[in-house]
Each structure stands twice: as structure tokens, then as C-alpha cells.
Amino acid sequence: MRDDERAPTIEWRTVVEADFPLLSDWLARPHVHRYWHHDFTPEGVARDFGPGTRGEEAGEDLLVFVDGQPTALVQRSRIADYAEDFEEFTEIVEVPPGAVTIDYLIADLSRTGQGLGSAIIRAVVADTWSSYPDCPAIIVGVVAGNVASWRALEKAGFRRVGEGDMEPDNPIDAPLHVISRIDRPESGPSQRQ
């Protein structure tokens, strides 16, 4: 990093209903919609994100701010809380009890390809170890064709642990997914081996 560069300030909060128009805009953007193939109408966003805002979902929808500006969305959940996801992951890799998964997007195309995704992932990973104290690992499946996404995971410290077929978000994608994992860091010499 050059002297005139500084690491961005990355913060987040839970998505609230007032964020739905912003999410609708983001999900409609071509570079986002390509891999987050969601209904971006107001009704679709309310249907997909409303349960999370009301505490009816096990997972979290996090609105990420970079230097104070809304920039990204991260979804975080325990894999076992979603039976279909759990089944798909366990057909390819071992999923330890308490394992978490994340999904993410950067809203502004001009902010992609600059390491921001990896920075956000690193921040969310660090928070996950404290927010989910029994989480032994974070495991993420990314459609194989989304090279930028699985490379961002690698740059954030994840390692590839498998490849296999999972239901793609966008039906134009082949089912092949890259599965990446990062394990909770050891807390020190007193931790059992």
C-alpha cells in the first residue's frame, strides 16, 4: 500500500425495510444480477428480504458501508439452518457442526476488481469468529464461472476444498461450484490439538 493510500473503513448493520429500494436498485444492476439472479421488483425484494428484517429468518442480511457509503451486501448464516444448502454442501465436502456460509455483492461495478471484495470478506470473517463463537469454519460455494468471486475468497485467506454440482442462482450457469473454506484460527498454545 502506498503512503497516500489507506485501508477503507468497513462497517455494516442489519438490513431494514427502508433499505429495500436500494437493494432493488443493486439487484437490478447487470453485474450483480448476473450472479444474484433475484427478483428485483419491490415485491420481490420485500418477499426475499422481509423475513430477515422481521427476525423470521435464521440468516443475516448485512448492509455494508465502506467509508460511510452503502457499498455492498453480505448474507451470513449457519449452513445447517437451511436444509437444502446443508444437503448440497455435504454431498461435496464435510460440514462441521456450527459451520457458517456467506454470500456477497459489491453494488458499484467501478468498485470491483480492486481488492474491496476481499477486504469486506476478511472483515466479515473476523467478525464471524466473535459473533458465532462455536463456528469452526466458514464454507462458501461459488459457481465455477464466477472466477472473480472465488478468487476474492482466496485473496481473503480461503482455500479450495472441493468442487461439485450445486443449484446455480442463475439458470444459465452450469451447476459446477468451487467450494472454499477458512477455519477458525487457533487461539494459542493452550488449545487442544
Percent of the chain with pLDDT over 70: 94
Q: Name the residue type at position 160.
A: R
Render pLDDT for 3-43 as a digit per residue (tens, 0 to 9).
456 789 999 999 999 999 999 999 999 999 999 999 999 99
Render pLDDT for 101-126 as a digit per residue (tens, 0 to 9).
999 999 999 999 999 999 999 999 99
Confidence (pTM): 0.92
In the block, which residue shows the cell 472466477? Answer: 147
Q: What does the pLDDT read at residue 89? A: 98
In the block, which residue shows the cell 474491496? Answer: 116
To the nearest 10 degrees (0 to 180), the angle between helices 147-155 and 116-131 is: 60
167 to 66, 84, 171: CA distances (angstroms): 31, 10, 8
Average pLDDT for residues 141-147, to the nearest whole number? 96
- How far is Cα 127 from Cα 182, in angstroms, rounded to an integer? 13
Q: What does the pLDDT read at residue 5? A: 65
Q: What does the pLDDT read at residue 7? A: 85
- How far is Cα 41 from Cα 145, in angstroms, rounded to an integer? 26
Render pLDDT for 60-80 as a digit per residue (tens, 0 to 9).
999 999 999 999 999 999 999
Q: Name the residue type at position 94.
A: E
Q: For residues 132 and 97, is the Cβ–Cβ distance under 8 A?
A: no
Please, which residues bridge with residue 159 across strands? 181
Q: What does the pLDDT read at residue 115? A: 93
Q: What does the pLDDT read at residue 189? A: 52
Q: What does the pLDDT read at residue 22? A: 98
Nearest to 37 by CA among 120, 145, 184, 128: 145
Instruction: Give me 11's grid cell.
Output: 462497517
Q: What does the pLDDT read at residue 150? A: 94
